[in-house]
């Protein structure tokens, strides 16, 4: 019997990183993901990728309530139920149960960002962050609310949104009667009082109160605007911007006020500019009597 200690895992000579021990470079034609700019040598990996574009999490932990879109993420998670963490960082005191966790952690020290966006200059330390970023280009919003027509690019945004359906709003503004289900929403709201604009453009002096506004603004600094309106001559750097623009032609107003009949084409408009809570059962609306 060959012991684990005697096995030497050789790195793949074609992979971009030396810690790759599972060669998938067969020389065959690569399989392309329809939603994400990535190629795969094996069909199982393409299926694996596609699951990240949905809310499906078929791989469930038998010891806790966590579930995962990818089988290998479950395998990594299972290590957290063991107290053994043999992979230690040489720069700090952190230790990890799995070598891949140490590899990702090391990038916080080296600044390495190997996962590059094919549509803009941005790069990321972790592939999951790249997947989320690509949705800013494609307009993909795979996480759909079951109680309303809203959909989100990030699972955490859907989680926060779902709390708006139970009516609980424990985070109260100290300067006005508004209250929020999430602390992050209160933080964003406070900027309407302070005029704080922490998201600064690296190309020009503009600054914004919201990250999403900075993302849309950054598209103005690129000459590439591949998303064209079929009704007029306007073009856009991001699919999400074109989607919002199309509502000026269709008249679609998917964001509805829960307190009055008003509806809006843009989500931020319905949340920030329209409704201010007076108390838990009534609202003050700038547009309605």
How do residues 112-123 score in pLDDT, each as one tens digit? Answer: 888 898 888 888
In this prediction, residues 76-86 reach a mean pLDDT of 76
Residue 252, domain member (yes or no)? yes
pLDDT digits (tens, 9 = 90+) for 39-53: 544 444 555 555 555
Asked whether residue 34 is domain-assigned, the answer is no
Model pTM?
A: 0.39
Residue 32: pLDDT band by 50, 70, 90 thresholds?
low
Does 279 map to a domain? yes
Domain hosting residue 198, numbered range: 162-285
pLDDT band of residue 147 (cuts 50, 70, 90) is: confident
Please report whether residue 18 resides in a domain: no
The answer, yes or no, to whether residue 217 has pLDDT greater than 50, is yes
In three-state form (DSSP H/G/I as H, E/B as E, the rest C), the secondary structure along the chain is: CCCHHHCCCCCCCCCCCCCCCCCCCCCCCCEECCCCCCEECCHHHHHHHHHHHCCCCCEECCCCCCEECCHHHHHHHHHHHCCCCCEECCCCCCEECCHHHHHHHHHHHHCCCCEECCCCCCEECCHHHHHHHHHHHHCCCCEECCCCCCEECCHHHHHHHHHHHCCCCCEECCCCCCEECCHHHHHHHHHHHHCCCCEECCCCCCEECCHHHHHHHHHHHCCCCCEECCCCCCEECCHHHHHHHHHHHHCCCCEECCCCCCEECCHHHHHHHHEEEEECCEEEECCCC
Question: What is the pLDDT confidence band of residue 54, given thresholds at 50, 70 and 90?
Answer: low
Write the CATH number for 212.
Answer: 3.30.160.60
Residue 25 included in any domain: no
Answer yes or no: is 270 within a domain. yes
In a domain, 84, yes or no: no
Average pLDDT rounded to a whole number, residues 214-239: 81
**Domains held by the chain: number:** 1
Asked if the structure places residue 50 within a domain, the reply is: no
């Amino acid at each position: 019997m060959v012991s684990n200690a005697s096995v030497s895992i050789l790195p793949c000579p074609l992979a971009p990183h030396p810690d790759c021990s599972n060669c998938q470079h067969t020389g065959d034609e690569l399989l392309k993901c329809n939603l994400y700019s990535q190629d795969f040598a094996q069909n199982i990996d393409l299926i694996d990728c596609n699951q990240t574009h949905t809310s499906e999490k078929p791989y469930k932990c038998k010891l806790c309530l966590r579930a995962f879109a990818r089988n290998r993420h479950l395998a990594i998670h299972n290590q957290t139920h063991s107290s053994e963490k043999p992979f230690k960082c040489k720069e700090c005191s952190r230790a990890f149960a799995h070598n891949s966790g140490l590899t990702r952690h090391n990038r916080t020290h080296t600044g390495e960002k190997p996962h590059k966006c094919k549509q803009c200059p941005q790069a990321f330390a972790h592939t999951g962050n790249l997947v989320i970023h690509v949705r800013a280009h494609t307009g993909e919003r795979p996480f759909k609310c079951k109680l309303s027509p809203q959909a989100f690019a990030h699972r955490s945004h859907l989680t926060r949104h779902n709390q708006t359906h139970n009516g609980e709003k424990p985070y109260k503004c100290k300067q006005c009667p508004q209250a929020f289900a999430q602390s992050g929403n209160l933080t964003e709201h406070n900027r309407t009082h302070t005029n704080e604009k922490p998201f600064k453009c690296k190309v020009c002096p503009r600054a914004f109160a919201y990250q999403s506004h900075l993302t849309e603004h950054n598209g103005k600094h690129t000459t590439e605007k591949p998303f064209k309106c079929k009704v007029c001559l306007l073009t856009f750097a991001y699919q999400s911007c074109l989607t919002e623009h199309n509502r000026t032609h269709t008249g679609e107003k998917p964001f509805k006020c829960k307190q009055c009949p008003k509806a809006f084409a843009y989500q931020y408009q319905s949340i920030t500019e329209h409704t201010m809570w007076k108390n838990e059962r009534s609202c003050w609306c700038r547009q309605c009597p």
